[in-house]
Amino acid sequence: MNKTFLFGILAGSILLASCGTGETPATEGTATDSTATAAAPATHHILADQSAVNWTGTMLGVKSHTGTLNFTDGHVTTAGGQLTGGKFTVDMRSYQMTDTNYAADGSAQGTRAMLMGHLMSPDFFAVDSFPTASFEITKVEGNTATGNLTVRGRTFPETVKDIVLTQDANGVSATGNLTFDRQKYGVSWSSPMKDMVLSNDIVLKVDLKAAPTATAQAQTAQPAVN
């Protein structure tokens, strides 16, 4: 009788221990799945009507001209609230001038319309032959993104600095600064006036808003696979 009683206690202990061990992986698995879902990558498509590229070109010692260009399409990818990638296309025919450093309309030179026409000509961006420009991110480190900029059909690596990204349920907003040497891209016009030197640096400030795509929403909604 004593042996039977001890055997029963031993068997019960083993059974309870087995049940306890089986519950632990289930709890850990739930936590892991939740973390994976939170860090899942998401794709956001650019809202072209709410986004723009602001540019500045400077005639050294004289004045600067500023304006905007519109996006045609693009997307950004994020994970865990951080920028991870993206690709953007800009309409080079969408030039809008935002400064006031122009001669009055009807003047012999220096009007807003004249400058706009000059920027679109082969002297500068040759928009009839190259109607778009693009940038594709290849690496992100902190608030800096490296990628390939294509202007006038030429592609070189460039860097977007000082990126600020905010994200909520409606999508993402992001700003960043990029300066490129126009001469590398064949935007090679030079001022004939010795006391006016056109800077080779074109300064861009990107200001974009993007909304989550249906695909990204579906991916976020999918349950994690154990």
pLDDT for 118:
92
pLDDT for 36:
40
Q: What's the distance, Cα to Cα, between the start and end of the chain in Å?
A: 47
Spatial CB neighbours of 205, under 8 Å, sequence gap ≥ 6: 53, 54, 55, 175, 176, 177
pLDDT at 215 over 80: no
pLDDT for 196:
64
pTM of the predicted structure, to 2 decimals: 0.76
Per-residue model confidence as pLDDT tens digits over 110-123: 899 999 999 999 99
Please tell me the distance from the alpha carbon of residue 83 to that of residue 67, in angstroms, as a whole number.
26
**Mean pLDDT of all residues belonging to the chain:** 82
For the segment 111-139, the average pLDDT, to the nearest whole number, is 96
Spatial CB neighbours of 157, under 8 Å, sequence gap ≥ 6: 138, 146, 147, 148, 149
Per-residue model confidence as pLDDT tens digits over 36-80: 445 688 999 999 999 999 999 998 777 899 999 999 999 999 998
- What CATH number labels 42-213? 2.40.128.110
Domain limits of the chain? 1-38, 42-213
For the segment 184-192, the average pLDDT, to the nearest whole number, is 86
pLDDT for 131:
98
pLDDT at 9 over 60: no
pLDDT for 17:
42
